[in-house]
Structure 1
Amino acid sequence: MQTGNVTTPFGRRPMTLALVKGQLATAKIKAGKTVDKWKVYRSACEARTVLGLRDRALAVLNALLSFYPEQELSEESNLIVFPSNAQLAVRANGIAGTTLRENLALLVQAGLIQRHDSPNGKRYARKGSDGEIEAAYGFSLAPLLARAEELATLAHQVAEESRQRRFIKERITITRRDIRKLITAAVEEGAAGNWQAVEHELVAAVARLKTAKTTAALKECLDELTLLSEETINMLECQLIPQKTDVNDSGNRQHIQNSNTESLNELEPSSRHEQGAKAAGRPRRNVEPLRAFPLNMVLRACPQISDYAAGGVISHWRDLMSAAVVVRSTLGVSPSAYQEACEAMGPESAAIAMACVLERAGHIHSPGGYLRDLTRRTERGEFSLGPMLMSLLRAQEPGAAGSLASG
């Protein structure tokens, strides 16, 4: 077969190292390998955005494949087709000559075909005395055979990303609808709360959504809208769900306090004297735990916390809580202040609060006193992490300005 040779293009077309690399890779096709030509063509079509191809280039590729007589591309067969430009144009839906040449060049550049030029640049085949083709000059389809698995993988990745984008857009639509209708219901029925501020946050989030083009950007918009939705629901839940009685909830409060204390002790040991003093001097409160937020959102809003993690990387909530203890010590927050925050907010939310304090450390005179104030406001049901996180998220955007709301 002809695929093992490195050949240079005819005329003024330059030879490049990329072409050499492609021809060498083609020469390493496994002996006896075959692939359905239309299956690999479909993979190329599905992966066209990754390959940088347009529809007309794919139409030309389709035409080239139609000149290959067999259904399967085979390593044992001649993989060079040699139609004239006129023949190609007819099978490519009457494409103009200039456009045909441009798209042939694009297919070569994308590594889907290779030129195998004759001495005079013409495309033809020379047959032997037995009628078999001895030499052929035209376009080699060997790269399609060599890259069949790669193209199938690219096609799968493109399809998966497309599926993910559709899912994210669906969730964005539903979340926007939920927030809008919840705001309307709250305003019309007189629910307490700064609904104008929530409306402002929704408008700002939708404005950022209009400029989101990539899947990652859409995911960030979804995270922001999800956070706003959680905050909206949390504001309504505090008003609509009645407080549980002390009798029914005493067991739950004991369980929450024990769980928080156990989690805290793993990260920040405290003395028996401190624990005893709090038990005797401060009454137990029925504190509803704050809602959890996506870890990746917290890290986008508070990137500095990663500098205090082991290895500089936070992959799990446990990493964040460990880093928060280091930050507590660095900022001079007492163990008792942090433990009280853990008991009131929950360990994860206390770690988030500590990360937020770190981001705003330059504007806070006493980090310990600030954290105690957040703890007291949490116990009274007056504080939520959502607005603070959203404010910090906006501050991380290029050109962001303005003060940071503490919630």
Structure 2
Amino acid sequence: MERHYTTTPFGRRPMTLGMMAAQVAARAVDKDATVHKWHVFQHVREARDAVGATDRALAILNALLSFHPDTAFNGDSDLIVFPSNEQLISRANGMSPATLRRHLAVLVQCGLVIRRDSPNGKRFARKGPSGEIEQAYGFDLAPMVVRAQEFKELAEAVVAERRALKLAKERITLCRRDIVKMIATGIDEAIPADWRGFQRAYEGIAGRIPRTAPRQSYDAIAGELEALWLEVQNTLETFVNSHNKNANESHSERHIQNSNPDSNIEIEQSSGKEQEASASAAETDNVRHLPRRELPLGIVLDACPDIVALAKGGEIRTWRDLMAAAATGRAYLGISPSAYQEACEVMGEDQAATVIAAIQQRFEHISSPGGYLRSLTTRARDGKFSVWPMIMALLRAKLEKRKQLL
């Protein structure tokens, strides 16, 4: 007997052109097409906003799919399922009958299923003499085969858009953090620049960041923040480069980069008068005009990242953490406790720890770390040594190396 599939819904539910279009597409399905029903369902779930489905509707669709025994749906398969409302409610986490009816209508409206209503609106299947199903009335899952590729493309587009939105928000977060900290460094260290102007520009951009918005809005704000970040970054780099180019490096810094082992011995054995004679007037003037503030811990760690490996837990958050790592580094470098104790008394514990970090960073270029530290302690006692040129030179070397890699 030839089957007849109804094209209009039972009762007061009206027929729409969308329903007719879904039925036309179902009849035109490729008979050789085969899809994995749960893969298609995953794509529908990813693209639910684009499809127009609700979370409750997807729960019902999941239940409908579970009533079909096959996992692979074929174009020539009978894909009609006919569970009762009670069975659907049970598998759809116990929603009310009114909610079930409302979201079943959503599935039909979205074209995810097709109604195949019986004359009396009941869902059932009529079987033949041999037990095979001759006629079924219920919900046709053919759109899951017909629109499988469409759902996949929609899901891929949604995932790509979600990833792009996440990356845009990450760009904004990173730029905001960098700009705030770089501006704070510029203000704290009295670096000549319009830091208040930078701060006002940042606040103007940050104040326009929406709580929720399309990805394009976040991309535009990220672009503005990156432009400001680049300006602030260039300001700091220009200061670092100009400071190191215009100022003669201190005698101590020349030793930290000197690969000649004999020169370290000469400094350790030289008298205070010989050291004073070798120091130029410009060298003394450079030390006098360096910032009076202590170096920020972040700059020290940026210039001397190797010291972090000696810290407990592999992390340095405070000056106390740096001092503890320096005590370990002192033993690793072969510096005697008395030499390090003297350096702490003359320079202060934080500056002595900074020197140890710098020596650790340039360890392969220093033949006698202990003698080198004693010579720096002597110069610090005479007011002829500051850690600023040492750290700035390391930062400049790091920047130049990065530029070469680019």
Q: TM-score normalized by structure 1? A: 0.57
Match of 1:158 in 2: 158
What code does the residue aligned with 2:134 have?
Answer: E
Taking the aligned partners of 2:56 and 2:7, their CA distance within structure 1 comes to 27
- Deviation of 1:211 (Å): 4.3
What code does the residue aligned with 1:163 have?
Answer: R
What code does the residue aligned with 1:187 have?
Answer: I
Match of 2:207, SS? Answer: helix
Match of 2:269 in 1: none
Q: How does 1:201-350 map to 2 (within 5 A)?
A: 201-242=201-242
Match of 1:241, SS? Answer: helix
Taking the aligned partners of 1:30 and 1:196, their CA distance within structure 2 comes to 67
Q: How does 1:121-200 map to 2 (within 5 A)?
A: 121-200=121-200
Match of 1:53, SS? Answer: coil
Moved more, 54-63 or 175-184: 54-63
Match of 2:21 in 1: 21
- Deviation of 1:8 (Å): 0.9
Structure of higher CA gyration radius: 2
Q: What does the per-residue CA deviation read over 1:337-367, in whole Å, with 9 as the maximum and x for residues that have no partner?
A: xxxxxxxxxxxxxxxxxxxxxxxxxxxxxxx
- Deviation of 1:50 (Å): 1.6
Match of 1:210, SS? Answer: coil
Taking the aligned partners of 1:78 and 1:11, their CA distance within structure 2 comes to 25
Taking the aligned partners of 2:106 and 2:8, their CA distance within structure 1 comes to 17
- Deviation of 1:10 (Å): 1.0
For the 8 Å contact 1:89–1:100, the answer to whether it is kept is yes
- Deviation of 1:243 (Å): 9.8
- Deviation of 1:166 (Å): 1.7
Taking the aligned partners of 1:230 and 1:168, their CA distance within structure 2 comes to 17
Residue 47 of structure 2 is aligned to residue 78 of structure 1: no
What code does the residue aligned with 1:24 have?
Answer: V
Taking the aligned partners of 1:14 and 1:229, their CA distance within structure 2 comes to 59
For the 8 Å contact 2:31–2:74, the answer to whether it is kept is no
Match of 1:120, SS? Answer: coil
Q: What does the per-residue CA deviation read over 1:220-252, in whole Å, with 9 as the maximum and x for residues that have no partner?
A: 11101101111212333443333999xxxxxxx
Taking the aligned partners of 1:244 and 1:3, their CA distance within structure 2 comes to 89
Taking the aligned partners of 2:207 and 2:29, their CA distance within structure 1 comes to 51
Taking the aligned partners of 2:182 and 2:244, their CA distance within structure 1 comes to 24
What code does the residue aligned with 2:122 have?
Answer: K
Taking the aligned partners of 1:2 and 1:17, their CA distance within structure 2 comes to 26
For the 8 Å contact 1:10–1:120, the answer to whether it is kept is yes
For the aligned residue pairs, the C-alpha RMSD in angstroms reads 2.3
Structure 2 unaligned spans of 5+: 246-406
Give the direction of change, closer, same or farther, for the CA distance of 1:56–1:189 in structure 2 (3 Å limit): same
Residue 54 of structure 2 is aligned to residue 54 of structure 1: yes
- Deviation of 1:54 (Å): 2.5
Q: Which portions of structure 1, spanning 4 or more consecutive aligned residues, are displaced by more than 6 angstroms?
A: 1-4
- Deviation of 1:30 (Å): 0.6
Q: What does the per-residue CA deviation read over 1:119-146, in whole Å, with 9 as the maximum and x for residues that have no partner?
A: 1111111112222111111110000111
Match of 1:108 in 2: 108
What code does the residue aligned with 1:175 have?
Answer: C
Taking the aligned partners of 1:34 and 1:22, their CA distance within structure 2 comes to 19
Residue 15 of structure 2 is aligned to residue 11 of structure 1: no
Taking the aligned partners of 1:3 and 1:194, their CA distance within structure 2 comes to 82
Give the direction of change, closer, same or farther, for the CA distance of 1:34–1:104 in structure 2 (3 Å limit): same
Q: What does the per-residue CA deviation read over 1:64-115, in whole Å, with 9 as the maximum and x for residues that have no partner?
A: 0111111111222211111111110001111111111111111111111111
Give the direction of change, closer, same or farther, for the CA distance of 1:212–1:204 in structure 2 (3 Å limit): farther
Match of 2:242, SS? Answer: coil
For the 8 Å contact 1:3–1:26, the answer to whether it is kept is no
Match of 2:117 in 1: 117
Moved more, 95-104 or 233-242: 233-242
For the 8 Å contact 2:36–2:72, the answer to whether it is kept is yes
Match of 1:136, SS? Answer: strand
For the 8 Å contact 1:212–1:218, the answer to whether it is kept is no
For the 8 Å contact 1:125–1:135, the answer to whether it is kept is yes
Identity of aligned residues (%): 46
Match of 1:242, SS? Answer: helix
Give the direction of change, closer, same or farther, for the CA distance of 1:179–1:129 in structure 2 (3 Å limit): same
Match of 2:208, SS? Answer: helix
For the 8 Å contact 1:4–1:24, the answer to whether it is kept is no
Give the direction of change, closer, same or farther, for the CA distance of 1:184–1:3 in structure 2 (3 Å limit): farther
Taking the aligned partners of 1:219 and 1:57, their CA distance within structure 2 comes to 33
Moved more, 181-190 or 211-220: 211-220
For the 8 Å contact 1:2–1:78, the answer to whether it is kept is no
Aligned pairs, number: 245
Structure 1 unaligned spans of 5+: 246-407
- Deviation of 1:32 (Å): 2.3
Taking the aligned partners of 1:182 and 1:3, their CA distance within structure 2 comes to 75
Taking the aligned partners of 1:175 and 1:44, their CA distance within structure 2 comes to 35
For the 8 Å contact 2:46–2:158, the answer to whether it is kept is yes
Give the direction of change, closer, same or farther, for the CA distance of 1:174–1:2 in structure 2 (3 Å limit): farther
Give the direction of change, closer, same or farther, for the CA distance of 1:5–1:84 in structure 2 (3 Å limit): closer
Give the direction of change, closer, same or farther, for the CA distance of 1:152–1:211 in structure 2 (3 Å limit): same
Match of 1:209, SS? Answer: coil
- Deviation of 1:20 (Å): 1.1
Taking the aligned partners of 2:190 and 2:244, their CA distance within structure 1 comes to 24
Greater RCO structure (CA 8 Å; 6+ sep): 2
Match of 2:22, SS? Answer: helix
Match of 2:209, SS? Answer: helix
